[in-house]
Amino acid sequence: MTSQQRFISSQFPRSNAYHPDWILGNASGGANSVWLAEWLASVLDLKPGMHVLDLGCGRASSSIFLAREYSVKVWATDLWFSPSENLQRIRDAGVEQNVFPIHSDARSLPFAADFFDAIISIDAFPYFGTDDHYLNNLARFAKPEGIIAMAAAGFVEEVESAVPEHLKKWIETEPLLRSMHSSAWWRWHWEKSGLVDVQVADSMPDGCGLWLEWLRTIAPDNQMELQALEADGGRYLTYNRVVARRRPNVMLEEPMVSIPSHYTRNPLLRSDS
């Protein structure tokens, strides 16, 4: 395979147009974010001019892809990667008018309520979205009936107490892998909130194989993960996606950031009164 033939797949016809050096230069994790963005967007109803939050965008390649392919406006938001560097990348891609780099923690987003038509997250949501309160904090930034969607590395089925032997060493070495879940778990986790209606929760065909192809290219020395993927063969490891819409009539609580206080001095002991 020549370098020009890398990352060509019939599953991702839009992604095939993007230069492999550009994709590699923007790599920020264990997935080809352009592939995941195309896979997720294929089941979204994205329309030109929509306001889209790309949460945990890394080096913003998914944001650039969405703006170019679907003519949406994207707020490329990440905590770990420089918004100044992302702005250079955005300018070079010719989408400066439609992609806006933001530096922010996913748990302290600087946006107005009901601002986004769609909130998406590419291979980042498990880092911050597993607690029971997070979806309420996030959903308020979506318009009523707005889209909330994610695609990320995960499991075909839940790995709980009995970790498969071929995955045990890798999972024990990387505690963050415990935040990965199956698409069925994510459906349950979102639906139990009562805030959204889940429309899609599924796994990518040959997700493990595509994960392995990506890792062999970007991190050939990561033998522990490579061996886990090779041994797994898709039994447990894959990419998952979940798509939901915010229910229009639910009450979303504003997060409590401080408690007003007014101190009144009172006697400490009965004998002081």
pLDDT of residue 250: 85
What pLDDT was estimated at residue 1?
A: 54
% of the chain with per-residue pLDDT over 90: 80
Q: How far is CA 3 from the centre of its chain?
A: 28
Q: So what's the pLDDT on residue 172? A: 85
Residue 257: per-residue pLDDT:
63
Per-residue pLDDT, 15:
97
DSSP code of residue 254 = P
Each residue's pLDDT tens digit, 208-226: 999 999 999 999 999 999 9
Residue 14's pLDDT is 97
Q: Domain coordinates of the chain in residue numbers?
A: 19-247
* pLDDT on residue 163: 85
* Cβ neighbours around 270 below 10 Å, total: 6
**Would you state the structure tokens that stand for residue 243, as one six-digit string?**
């798509």
- List the alpha helices (DSSP H) in 61-145: 61-70, 83-92, 134-139
pLDDT digits 0-9 by tens, 18-65: 999 999 999 987 899 999 999 999 999 999 999 999 999 999 999 999
Q: With a cut of 70, say whether residue 202 has pLDDT above it.
A: yes
With cut-offs at 50, 70 and 90, classify the pLDDT of residue 100.
very high
Can you name the CATH fold of 19-247? Rossmann fold (3.40.50)
Could you tell me which of 10, 7, 38, 37 has the C-alpha nearest to residue 23?
Answer: 7
pLDDT in tens, 220-246: 999 999 999 999 999 999 999 999 999
Q: What is the pLDDT of residue 29?
A: 79
With bands split at pLDDT 50, 70 and 90, how would you rate the model's confidence at 90?
very high
Mean pLDDT to the nearest integer, 114-132: 95
Rounded to an integer, what distance in angstroms lies between the CA atom of residue 235 and that of residue 217? 22
Q: What is the pLDDT of residue 57?
A: 97
Cα separation values, 180 from 25, 120, 152, 234, Å: 26, 17, 8, 15
**Token digits of residue 38:** 């195309």
Tell me how far apart the alpha carbons of residues 97 and 209 are, in angstroms, rounded to a whole number: 36
Please tell me the distance from the alpha carbon of residue 252 to that of residue 250, in angstroms, as a whole number.
6
pLDDT of residue 115: 97
Tell me the mean pLDDT in the region 91-98.
98
Query: What pTM was estimated for this model as a whole?
Result: 0.91
Q: Does 98 score more than 80 pLDDT?
A: yes
Residue 247: CA count within 13 A, CB half-sphere: 15
Strand positions, DSSP E, 2-56: 51-55
Q: Is the pLDDT of residue 174 over 90?
A: no
Structure confidence at residue 93 as a pLDDT band (50, 70, 90): very high
